[in-house]
Amino acid sequence: MSRYIVKASKLVTVSELGTILDGALIIQDGIILNVGTWGDIKQNVVETEDTLIDYGGLVIAPGLIDCHTHLLEFAPTSLYPVTKQTQLLAAKAILLKALASGITALGEQICGSPMLYTDVDELKKSVEDFPIDISFASTSISIGLETLLHFTSITGSLCVEKNVLVQPEIVRSIAKQNEFAGENVFINATPANFAKELVPNAGKIIYSQEELNTIVSIFHSLNKKIGTHVAGSEGIEMALQANFDVLHHAHGISSEQIERASKQNIHIVATPLGGTHLPPNTIEEVKKMIQANITVAISSDGYLPPHENTVTFPKILQGLIGPDSLMAIAHPYMKAITQLGYDENKALSLITLNPAKILEKESLFGSLSVGKEANFIVSEGVPGLEVVDTDRIKAVYFRGEKMIERS
């Protein structure tokens, strides 16, 4: 089936076309060939041999994107009792769950795992056939245990001295491997998934301003964007000065810092479940970012235990949470944005078009636009706004092929 038409009572395109009632898409060879009202498409473009898939009263929206995850390195051993031999099976089970929840693209962070280290290229190869578009960020990481531990994506499963993190050859190798501005550098040490009392150094600032400036300039000299794991006004101040392209988390960012981030055209990946030493992004923070015209994505940072202050369905989300809960994680923020007067397309952009921009792949996917990959989901309402429960996603298409179907 290289060409077909799919129609539904509502298309939320997350493009300049906005929402199209009684809309249709023509898909050819995995690409969106046409988008419009069913009336227009029927009159002008339908050929007699075209197959029509009619989703009736359902909603068609772009595939969801989680641009900050740790699914391949840390999640397998956190969620399954696997060994090096079975790690990949667990990773694929985790990816399948994400796909079944409407996720068609991911931004994976590869930090150098102390548990089960796998070379980044090997990891990439092992999932390249999986029907989710996965972009990889190569990072270093500093974990705020009693004794600070540092790792990098290129130095294997043994920890390294802090001075290794700033060696130009190391930074250059990490940058060369890097595919998008992920949490490439941890300005603040992370609590990771450890209990509070085990990570007294979580939040500690690891770098000097000069060191950060140098790391950023090395990435930029190689024509690579760079992001940072950061929280708290002091760390965010350093990130703004060093000219990072993307702030991940940015928990506790001030209104004044939001304004400056906007002027510097810095994107922000909010992580409502947690992920740093501080309480996660408030709804107020994210509203201000949107009002300041910042490109904001909402991500799971999964798999993660939700912070006690998360505003996201604290009762529903228990245990370790990942991208299969992205709609529930984003829901309160998306709702707040519509209450500011923005429409459902703007709200949905937090988990579709904006993360596609973070991944630097917005020309490939992220909206229902002519020429983009046919990555879309069919659901019982607008994802993340009217629908937070994965069971209400009825179909998931990746590059034009139906990968998930629920009755």
- How are beta strands 51-54 and 3-12 bridged, if at all? parallel
Provide the strand spans (E) within 116-155.
133-138, 140-143, 149-152
Measured from the CB atom, the residue of 301 and 373 that comes closer to Zn ion is 301
**Binding letters toward Zn ion, positions 190-209, x by CB under 5 A:** --------------------
* Token digits of residue 329: 């994680």
Cα–Cα distance for residue pair 317/320, rounded to 1 Å: 8
Residues 113-142 that bind Zn ion (CB under 5 A): none
Nearer to Zn ion, 139 or 282 (CB): 139
> Which positions from 299 to 338 touch Zn ion by CB under 5 A, shown as an x/- string?
--x-------------------------------------
Closest CB to Zn ion belongs to which residue? 301
Task: Considering the complex, state which of residue 108 and residue 362 has its C-beta at the smaller distance from Zn ion.
Answer: 108
Site map for Zn ion, 263-302, x if CB under 5 A?
Answer: --------------------------------------x-
> Nearest to residue 163, comparing CAs of 188, 140, 181?
140
Between 301 and 362, CB nearer to Zn ion: 301
- Of 285 and 301, the one with the shorter C-beta distance to Zn ion is 301
Helix (H) and strand (E) counts in the chain: 13, 18
Contact 393, 304 (CB under 8 A): no
Q: Of 69-108, which residues contact Zn ion (CB under 5 A)?
A: none
Closest distance to Zn ion from the beta carbon of 349 (Å): 22
Question: What is the distance between the alpha carbons of residues 329 and 349, in angstroms, rounded to a whole number?
Answer: 14
Distance between CA 337 and CA 333 in Å, rounded? 6
CB of 179 or CB of 301, closer to Zn ion: 301
Q: Is 245 in the site for Zn ion (CB under 5 A)?
A: no
Q: Minimum distance from CB of 166 to Zn ion (Å)?
A: 20
Q: Phi and psi dihedrals of 100, rounded to 5?
A: -65, -15
Q: How far is the CB of 304 from Zn ion (least distance, A)?
A: 8
CB of 189 to Zn ion, least distance (A): 13
**Cβ distance to Zn ion smaller for residue 15 or 109:** 109
Kindly tell me the sign of the dihedral angle through the C-alpha atoms of 25, 26, 30, 33. negative
Name the strand (E) or helix (H) holding 22. Answer: strand 19-28
Classify 214 in phi/psi space as left (phi over 0), alpha (psi -120 to 50) or beta.
alpha
In the bound complex, what is the minimum distance in angstroms from residue 198's beta carbon to Zn ion? 18
Taking the C-alpha atoms of residue 222 and residue 172, their distance in angstroms, rounded to an integer, is 8
Judged by CB under 5 A, the number of residues near Zn ion is: 1
The bridge status of strand 64-69 relative to strand 103-110 is: parallel
Which helix (H) or strand (E) segment holds residue 89: the answer is helix 87-100
Q: Which amino acid is at 301?
A: D
Choose between 68 and 288: whose C-beta lies nearer to Zn ion: 68
User: From CA 249, how far away is CA 230, in angstroms rounded?
Assistant: 6
Nearer to Zn ion, 301 or 324 (CB): 301
The residue with tokens 């949905």 is 348
Is the C-alpha dihedral spanning 363, 369, 372, 377 positive or negative? positive
For residue 306, give the DSSP letter. Answer: P
User: Coil, strand, or helix at residue 109?
Assistant: strand
Smallest separation (angstroms) from Zn ion to the CB of 15: 29
Shortest separation between residue 25's beta carbon and Zn ion, angstroms:
34
Identity of the residue, 111 or 337, whose beta carbon is nearer to Zn ion in the bound complex: 111
Taking the complex as a whole, how short is the minimal distance between the CB of residue 74 and Zn ion, in angstroms? 9
State in angstroms the smallest separation of the CB of 68 from Zn ion.
Answer: 6
Task: Quote the least distance from Cβ 275 to Zn ion, whole Å.
Answer: 5
**Binding region for Zn ion (CB under 5 A):** 301
